[in-house]
A and B are shown apart, each in its own frame.
Chain A
Amino acid sequence: MIRYIIRRLLYMIPTLIGVSLLTFLLFFGIFSPETVARRNLSAKTPTQEQITTWIKEHGYDKPPVEQFKRHMDSLLRMNFGKSDKTKEVIWDRIHEGALPSFELASLSFLVTLGFGLFLAVVAAYLRGSYIDSVTMALAVVFMSIPIVVYVVGLQFLFGKILKYGPIAGYEPGIWGLRFMVLPVLVGLVSGAGYYVRLYRTFLLDETGQDYVRTARAKGVAENAVLFKHVLKNAMIPVVTTTVSAIPTLILGNLVLESFFGIPGLGSYLVNAISAQDFAVVRAMVYLGTLLYIFGLILTDVLYAALDPRVRLQ
């Protein structure tokens, strides 16, 4: 197990280099250093001399290979430096943005999962009944509506008609959770359908297994079969699919963050992309990759821990 983890961690290095190379190529494929300089300089019509100085100062005049080496070097040391545009220390912004992002992502994730699992259990338990059909039908319908519609529609509904809870903003702390109600709700209605369907399949797959039949045949109570045996075993695919979704949460939810005014990392990255602030983009992508890969390793480890049949090699 430990050897496996170490090996995976070693594999991480080429991946990180690959991701940084891709970001680097994408960024400088689109923008020439001159364009980036123009965009980041405050002067209305920067002189050629100012542009050259800027490019030189930020090291964008060196040959690409050397630039890339420099980028990689600072990234591997987690030394993200300062933003090209505002000159703020990138780590400071990451520190500030991490909490709101994490709050939104984890809350919306947990609520969505919890609700999804609950409905899936209900539907699986009452399979074939009208509640099952209604739940599944609603799940598909809710999945088929674009998130932008939910965002626009729910904010309109809550803001103009219902008037419960604040419609946008952020505040740290317990009382600040009220700001999360609406974004989490949007996350729930747009995301739960997928999980309901997925988990119901897992549960029903388990119900068909031999051991369940045996248990039933032995005369174990129906509810006990479901909650003790089926649910326990169905948790394996549930947990692994769940954990594998965690990495995608780390950069936060772009649409929700920008629409509900939550100062998280997702909006930070998107702002940086549109402001052509390469220093921030590369740092955020690097950090995202790092966490993503940790998430993948965690998934594998958890999988092995939960399911004795799986062995890591």
Chain B
Amino acid sequence: MIWQNIQANLPPIIVVALFIWVLNRSRREVLWAEAYRRLRKNKLAIGAIAVIVLYLGLVFLDSVSWQATKSAEPRSAMDALFQKPFENSYSAPLASVTSGEAVEHKLGAKHILGTDSVGEDVLYRVLKGMRTSFMIGGLSCAIAVPVALFLGLIAGYFGKFVDDAVTFLFTVFGSVPDILLIIATVMMLGRGLFSICFALGISSWIGLCRLVRGETLKHRDREYVRAAKALGVSDARILTKHILPNLLPSVIIAVTLLFSSLALYETILSYIGVGMGPEAGSWGNMIDSSRDELTRDPIMWWNLVFATTALLVLVLSLNILADALRDAIDPRLRTE
């Protein structure tokens, strides 16, 4: 049993380890070390990073789980800390009885942010939504970024036929409405986190690919690339060792913004009915449920307000971080 539990928890641990390794590694690079120094001076950015780290911590808590026996359901650390027994129905934040029911029921526990339609703690749902948000952002980027990088780099670098082919590909994908692409993919693969991420991934690589292609085009004719070519360095090496590092700053900023827009997109998916499943913690679903709740008397505002706040804080922090990174990495782009 212990072995199975360790196995189940490997992916999040590996992801965290990788993350730390990359951060550590990059600190040794000159360009990045300089950027860190500048970033540290930006108080707003530090705040944003703190928020993101806090969110990541909570996501990690929700990602490590423990299964006591073979027949028990696995519970994440988050469940152990925040899950509360179900109540009967809605209840306002900090209330002691349910609201909206014909006969009010006494609540079994205090719910700081109230409870939702099936009586589940809203704070717990909000916290559960973080993992979904990060998974959607992360996985979609994990699909979109490599594709965009690869296609963009080869298109910009080799030009000619390759460029035509890649341009053709992203014009085609770019012309099909996102909504059709996403609905079709979700219907084809069935619902669930992975098909949503796949759908978002294939609809969001286009913008990034354009950017990478454009940047590569600029760098292709720079002296350092020409010099490397003259020295007989292979194309693959030039792309990965010389051009790619120069693109990374703008790619990282673009990815940060992509991540935040994907988190926002989740709400639209819920609204059009191809979002996360009912059991999953999802801010999109919580916001969508407010369509039903705002028309009630008394108004059930807490799902909408708290889910929106959680999402707002995340997206805001990501946007601030992206700005700060832009300023830190490339002082020429400084706008203030």
Contact = CB atoms under 8 A, between A and B. Distances in A.
- A touches B (Cβ under 8 A): yes
B115 to A, nearest CB: 20
A254 B176 contact: no
A197 B320 CA distance: 12
Contacts of B304: 149, 152-153
B288 interface: yes
B267 A148 contact: yes
A280 to B, nearest CB: 11
A145 B312 contact: yes
A289 B176 contact: yes
Contact of B174 (A152, A201, A254, A292): A292
Contacts of B320: 140
Contact of A19 (B175, B179, B287, B319): B175
A22 interface: yes
Interface in A83-135: 127-128
B180 A149 contact: no
B246 interface: no
Judged by DSSP, the binding face of A is helix
A18 B177 contact: no
Contacts of A189: none
Nearest to B323: A140
Nearest to A21: B172
Interface stretch (B79-87, B105-113, B182-190, B222-230): B182-190
A273 interface: yes
Interface residues of A, number: 41
Given A19-B172, A146-B287, A149-B304, A254 B319 contact: no
Given A152-B290, A201-B335, A273-B179, A26 B172 contact: no
A251 B172 contact: no
Contacts of A288: 175, 177
A12 to B, nearest CB: 9
B99 interface: no
B177 A144 contact: no
B187 A148 contact: no
Given A26-B181, A146-B268, A289 B168 contact: no
Nearest to A201: B335
B287 A15 contact: no
B312 A144 contact: yes
A293 B308 contact: no
B134 to A, nearest CB: 16
Given A149-B308, A152-B294, A255-B271, A285 B319 contact: no
B335 A149 contact: no
Interface string A4-46: 0000000000110011001100110110000000000000000
Contacts of B319: 140, 143-144
Contacts, number: 110
A270 interface: yes
Interface in A205-260: 251, 254-255
B335 A15 contact: no
A20 to B, nearest CB: 9
B336 A15 contact: no
B171 interface: yes
Given A29-B184, A141-B312, A23 B287 contact: no
B291 A152 contact: yes
A288 B172 CA distance: 11
A252 to B, nearest CB: 10
A293 B168 CA distance: 11
B187 A30 contact: yes
Nearest to B334: A204
Interface string B246-268: 00000000000000100010011
Given A15-B171, A26-B184, A147-B268, 6 more contacts: A143-B315, A153-B304, A255-B271, A269-B177, A273-B180, A281-B180
Interface of A: 14-15, 18-19, 22-23, 26-27, 29-30, 127-128, 140-141, 143-149, 152-153, 156, 200-201, 204, 251, 254-255, 269-270, 273-274, 281, 285, 288-289, 292-293, 296
In the A-B complex, the 4 residue pairs with the smallest Cβ-Cβ separation, listed nearest first, are: A144-B315, A146-B267, A289-B175, A18-B172
12 contacts: A18-B171, A27-B184, A128-B336, A141-B312, A145-B308, A145-B311, A147-B268, A149-B304, A152-B291, A269-B179, A273-B183, A273-B184
